[in-house]
Amino acid sequence: MELNINTETLKYIFNKFDHKSDYISHTELNSGHINNTFLVKASGTKNYILQRINHNVFKDIPGLVNNKILISNHIRSKYVHLSEEDLSKKVLSFVKTKETNFYYHEENGDFWNVMIFIANGITHDVVVDEEIAYEGGKLLGAFLNATSDFDSSQLIDVIPNFHDMSFRFKQYAFSLQSALKERLEKANIFIKIVSDLKTEMHILQELKETKVIPVRVTHNDTKISNSLFDNGNKGICMIDTDTVMPGIIHYDFGDAIRTICNTAVEDEKDLSKVEFNLAYYKAYEQGFLEKTKDLLTPTCVKYLPLAAKTMIFIMGLRFLTDYFNNDVYYKTRYPEHNLDRARNQFKLIESFSEKFK
Ligand code: GN1
Ligand code: MG
């Protein structure tokens, strides 16, 4: 849902930050499912992204913001030759409040943060070109490479057990108990699919827990719309670092594939449009491996296809759970929005499984 905020309030919040410019106008960007994000046009040479972070979902926002700053600073330290101006076009740059925090805590409990808007950046909701898949793979690979020497234990778990399959299964089991009969009936076929895939969908988690796959810094929301490209389709940087925390690369690889290889958007209702594009998978994997080859063991590489299936599944499961919970987590635009999203993800798994036979 759009945030019902008047211009005066937004301007008041924006002016809590030390950007040394004047508010001119704003528009709400509606791509996220959790936070509210505004593009603020300002006097001077830069524009800004003002974001309200949802404190129902994120319980430790100072910790979350600190994660983002630590990672941005670490990536910045890899570009010592660049000026501050050039850095702000390449790496997410956060603006302090006039009281020198990186977030503003509003009297009503809301938390806000501000970033410099990277002008000329382009995002894609659906990939229509193999070249973008390849460049997207390079971009995520470069992010994981640049953060591979950062000690991930310095980051908080922004959402504990975020990609933990047993945890998501527990939430799902709980949602089944209180779901409306009508909703259970509509989603009946997915209950069977979820149960059939349960064992396979726990494999990556077991490999993580037994330390066969190492934990490192991961982005955790790598859908393609969180990759910023320039107008020549070269990657600029990964955006939306709200969920940066310790994890395994399979989360990031798989979540990216989930959107890159879907021939439609994640809530497309016409399932005939939803297919898994194998050519994009290969292109993305090639770009990804070019940048991560020194980080990954053969075992890590072997499990990349399973990562794709697992991350498509976990999102299907989360959308389904929210549907059974009467849509309390994701923003929805109509009553069956979460069911349509879940349907879409389960169709994608079916197509993935056919293509990978
Ligand atoms: C949510 O709000 P947004 O769009 O950045 C979700 C991700 C999902 C994504 C699906 C904190 O991200 O896990 O992959 O929706 N983020 C959270 O589009 O739950
Ligand atoms: Mg996000």
Q: pLDDT (tens digit, 9 = 90+) per residue, 110-120?
A: 999 999 999 98
Q: Please indicate, yes or no, whether residues 191 and 336 belong to a single structural domain of this protein.
A: yes
Pocket test for ligand 1, best of 30, 51, 221, 259 (most atoms within 8 A of CB): 221
Condensed to tens digits (0 to 9), the pLDDT of residues 38-50 reads 999 999 999 999 9
CA 97/CA 233 separation, integer angstroms: 34
Q: Please indicate, yes or no, whether residues 145 and 239 belong to a single structural domain of this protein.
A: yes
CA 95/CA 18 separation, integer angstroms: 7
Rounded to an integer, the average pLDDT of 80-101 is 95
SS3 content of the chain, % helix, strand, coil (to 5): 45, 15, 40
Q: Is the pLDDT of residue 1 over 60?
A: no
Tokens for 12? 């008041």
Condensed to tens digits (0 to 9), the pLDDT of residues 311-336 reads 999 999 999 999 999 999 999 999 99
CA atoms within 13 A of residue 243's CA, in its CB half-sphere: 21
Domain contains 317:
yes
- Close Cβ partners of 74 (under 8 Å, ≥ 6 residues apart): 146, 147, 150
Query: How far, in Å, from the CA of 351 to the mean position of ligand 1?
Result: 22
Q: What is the domain-level CATH number for residue 108?
A: 3.30.200.20
- The ligand 1 atom at the shortest distance from the C-alpha of residue 259 is 18
Q: Is the pLDDT of residue 82 over 60?
A: yes
- Predicted confidence band at 32 (pLDDT cuts at 50, 70, 90)? confident
Using alpha carbons only, what angle is made at residue 168 by residues 165 and 172, rounded to the nearest 5 degrees?
Answer: 135
Q: Please indicate, yes or no, whether residues 206 and 302 belong to a single structural domain of this protein.
A: yes
- Residue range of the domain that includes 33: 7-116
- Close Cβ partners of 206 (under 8 Å, ≥ 6 residues apart): none
Q: Please indicate, yes or no, whether residues 111 and 187 belong to a single structural domain of this protein.
A: no
- Predicted confidence band at 31 (pLDDT cuts at 50, 70, 90)? confident
Q: Is the pLDDT of residue 2 over 80?
A: no
Q: Is 33 close to ligand 1, i.e. is its CB under 6 Å away?
A: yes
Rounded to an integer, the average pLDDT of 128-135 is 96
Q: Please indicate, yes or no, whether residues 299 and 244 belong to a single structural domain of this protein.
A: yes
Domain count for the chain = 2
- Predicted confidence band at 266 (pLDDT cuts at 50, 70, 90)? very high
Percent of the chain surpassing pLDDT 90: 96
CA 185/CA 22 separation, integer angstroms: 54
Q: Please indicate, yes or no, whether residues 45 and 134 belong to a single structural domain of this protein.
A: no
How much is the pTM? 0.95
Comparing C-alpha atoms, which of 113, 114, 118 is closest to residue 85? 118
Query: How far, in Å, from the CA of 221 to the mean position of ligand 1?
Result: 6
Condensed to tens digits (0 to 9), the pLDDT of residues 221-244 reads 999 999 999 999 999 999 999 999
Q: Please indicate, yes or no, whether residues 317 and 174 belong to a single structural domain of this protein.
A: yes
Single residue among 84, 116, 148 that ends a domain in this structure: 116
